[in-house]
Structure 1
Amino acid sequence: MSPHDLLWVAPGAIRLNGPWPEWADAAWQRSAPVVVRREAVAGGVIPVGLRGAARSQRVKGYVAADAVTRRMAPESLAEGSATVDGNLPALAALALLAPAFNATGMAWGPTGGVGYFLACGLPVLRADSDLDVVVRAPQPLTACQAAVLDGIQAAPGAACRIDIQVDTGHGAFAFAEWRRGGRVLLKTNTGPQLCADPWADTV
């Protein structure tokens, strides 16, 4: 499992550290996948996030790996993104920018509200939603790939904010922050780390 993967799990499989939220009723749980998040945990356990329709409805939890009944990675949601039909700015931006993401030659996929909506159809998107995308880059970006991502980040035809996260395999960072130069905040399973080279073996 990788961060941002969407998982459907067996009933009652989600374990929370705190009280169960009222919005996560049985009907919501039947339709709503959980999102894999970053945290170092014991083997056989997956750290996940449970989300509701509102931004404030987010809780952290855990599921056993053997309770997962279905998995959907962001990369699978990228297929057909250029033909996504929707009247919300984030969906329109995805359809507009999908060919450019494909042109990088890297695996990529929508995450956040857009990815969640495409995976399950639940009403989590709003007119002011961002387009969040993860790009898989186990090797440092080439000058050409970085230039394409620059163009995507500043796409004049996109009517919403574009947030590109670059996943190196052992952490992820914001492309816009890396492009500004200097150290970047790399999100890892053991917490955020400031590093000069996010692809370094030791950070």
Structure 2
Amino acid sequence: MELLVHDLLKINNIECIASDEEAPKWVHEALLQAPWVVVRRAPLQNGMIPVGVRGENRIQRFGAYIPSSAIVMKVTPEQLVSQAGWRTSERFTTIRAFQILDIVSFYYSRYDWSWGITGSVGFELASSIPTARPNSDLDIVIRMPQPLDRKKAGVLHGWNTQLPIRIDVQLETPLGAVALAEYARNEKQVLLRTSSGPTLVDTPWSVVTLNQEDGR
């Protein structure tokens, strides 16, 4: 099974979660409510898949690992777009991101890109657990194997800023991810998030880095 960063995974055993750190109490409670995790940006560890567990609050995020045998379902961000589950959601009138997703989907369809929904909105669409808030940001990932023209990036970012909620777009390159907003500013250096940590690069599609940053 091919797994990419941001893919959502339903697991069959919440006890299979492994980590170098002791899991906070909320992790077990969150998985009991919704046995879903998201593939995170980190190397495999002894064949185990790096995943993130999300809690009720934004600050409740826990990095862990699971065996592939625990996966019973995979939902990709792109599938969430094609399924358009926001249209039939009971919370459509409550969540503003749901209300604008048809507009976003129509506009993005003009580009030949593979894109999908992530973050709290994506998690709710996949799991049916109410995790998004009325004014939650709409997090989007665009799979971008080839370099994106800066002018085209600026046009897309400019369109996103006209929407009534914040749109946070990540461009996934073969080397990692860069924020569309930062890339569109046409600065010489941009921050690329890789599996080994963030680094400054000339271009998110280049292996030549300018400066290695601490942390992840």
TM-score between the two structures when normalised by the length of structure 2: 0.83
C-alpha displacement at 1:159, in angstroms? Answer: 2.0
Q: Is the 8 A contact 1:82 1:94 kept in 2?
A: no
- Alignment equivalent of 1:199, drawn from 200, 205, 213: 205
Distance 2:101 2:86 in 1: 9
Partner of 1:34: 37
Q: Is the 8 A contact 1:47 1:63 kept in 2?
A: yes
Distance 1:123 1:82 in 2: 13
Distance 1:27 1:150 in 2: 34
Answering whether residue 146 of structure 2 is matched by residue 139 of structure 1, we say yes
Q: Equivalences for 1:181-192 in 2 at 5 Å?
A: 181-182=186-187, 183-192=189-198
C-alpha displacement at 1:37, in angstroms? Answer: 0.6
Long gaps (5+) in structure 2: 210-216
**1:163-197 Cα deviation digits (max 9, x unpaired):** 01000122000001011122111000010010011
C-alpha displacement at 1:160, in angstroms? Answer: 1.0
Structure 1 residue identity aligned to 2:136: S
C-alpha displacement at 1:30, in angstroms? Answer: 6.0
Per the alignment, in what secondary structure is the counterpart of residue 79 of structure 1?
helix
Q: Is the 8 A contact 1:31 1:120 kept in 2?
A: yes
Per the alignment, in what secondary structure is the counterpart of residue 66 of structure 1?
helix
Structure 1 residue identity aligned to 2:148: L
- Alignment equivalent of 1:79, drawn from 73, 77, 82: 82
Partner of 2:63: 60
Partner of 1:19: 22
Answering whether residue 114 of structure 2 is matched by residue 107 of structure 1, we say yes
CA RMSD of aligned residues (A): 2.2
**1:22-73 Cα deviation digits (max 9, x unpaired):** 3344684363310111112335211111112222322111111232221111
Distance 1:3 1:199 in 2: 17
- Stretches (4+) displaced over 6 A: none
Structure 1 residues 175 and 192 mapped into 2: Cα distance closer, same or farther (>3 Å)?
A: same
Long gaps (5+) in structure 1: none
Structure 2 residue identity aligned to 1:8: K
Answering whether residue 11 of structure 2 is matched by residue 9 of structure 1, we say yes
- Alignment equivalent of 1:169, drawn from 167, 174, 189: 174
Distance 1:45 1:83 in 2: 32
Q: Which has the higher contact order (CA 8 A, sep 6+)?
A: 1
Matched positions, count: 201
C-alpha displacement at 1:78, in angstroms? Answer: 1.0
TM-score between the two structures when normalised by the length of structure 1: 0.88
Per the alignment, in what secondary structure is the counterpart of residue 23 of structure 1?
helix
Answering whether residue 128 of structure 2 is matched by residue 95 of structure 1, we say no
C-alpha displacement at 1:7, in angstroms? Answer: 0.8
Q: Is the 8 A contact 1:77 1:119 kept in 2?
A: yes
Structure 1 residues 82 and 154 mapped into 2: Cα distance closer, same or farther (>3 Å)?
A: farther
- Alignment equivalent of 2:126, drawn from 104, 119, 128: 119
Structure 1 residues 82 and 143 mapped into 2: Cα distance closer, same or farther (>3 Å)?
A: farther
Distance 2:184 2:191 in 1: 12
Distance 1:137 1:2 in 2: 13
